[in-house]
């Protein structure tokens, strides 16, 4: 089962959000190929710095302390469990189309475009904006109930 993990699912998981933790736990019981793209990689690390430092990532950068919060293994060990899908011209063209068609912001459009381009049928997200993915034949997994309805 190929699943794209949106930033919201990753951040809420590390924050201990009950819904996200339950989804990850249920997914751990299945044969899952996990995917992210460069947008999710960037957004996740940005939010991770904010959560770890309790201040703005820009302030952390100004202080020269990014390495204090982005250690050699952590959170790299967490993010490495996902395959990173690369964006190319086709991805950006699709993303642009999705922005115009579904009124999506660029990062959400790039996430949807990555799923579509790489034939990833499931998107784990707690972001309401990505509800449009179903119009593109991608199943939004945002609850245990939705996950239980999926053919595994």
**pLDDT tens per residue across span 82-95:** 999 999 999 999 99
Band of pLDDT at residue 57, cut at 50, 70 and 90: very high
- What tokens appear for 114 in the block? 């990555």
* pLDDT of 128 over the 90 cut: no
103: left (phi over 0), alpha (psi -120 to 50) or beta: left
Question: What's the whole-number mean pLDDT along residues 41-59?
Answer: 96
The fraction of the chain above a pLDDT of 90, given in percent, is 94
**What is the DSSP-derived secondary structure letter of residue 34?**
E
Look at residues 42, 146, 37 and name the one whose alpha carbon lies nearest to residue 94: 37
Asked if 107 contacts 39 with a C-beta cutoff of 8 angstroms, the reply is: yes
- What tokens appear for 148 in the block? 């239980």
**What domains sit in the chain, N to C, each tagged with a CATH number?**
2-85+121-148 (3.40.50)
**CA gap 3, 100 in Å, rounded:** 25
The fraction of the chain above a pLDDT of 70, given in percent, is 99
Mean of per-residue pLDDT scores for the chain: 95
């Amino acid at each position: 089962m190929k699943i794209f993990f949106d930033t919201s699912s990753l951040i809420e998981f590390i924050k201990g959000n009950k819904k996200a933790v339950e989804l990850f736990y249920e997914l751990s019981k299945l044969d899952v190929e996990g995917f992210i793209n460069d947008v999710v990689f960037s957004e996740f690390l940005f939010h991770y710095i904010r959560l770890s430092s309790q201040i703005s990532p820009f302030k952390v950068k100004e202080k020269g302390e990014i390495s204090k919060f982005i250690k050699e293994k952590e959170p790299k060990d967490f993010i490495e469990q996902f395959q990173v899908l690369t964006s190319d011209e086709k991805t950006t063209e699709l993303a642009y189309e999705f922005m115009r068609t579904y009124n999506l912001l660029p990062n959400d459009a790039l996430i949807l475009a990555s799923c579509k381009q790489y034939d990833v049928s499931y998107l784990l997200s707690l972001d309401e904006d990505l509800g449009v993915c179903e119009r593109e034949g991608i199943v939004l997994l945002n609850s245990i109930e939705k996950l239980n309805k999926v053919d595994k």
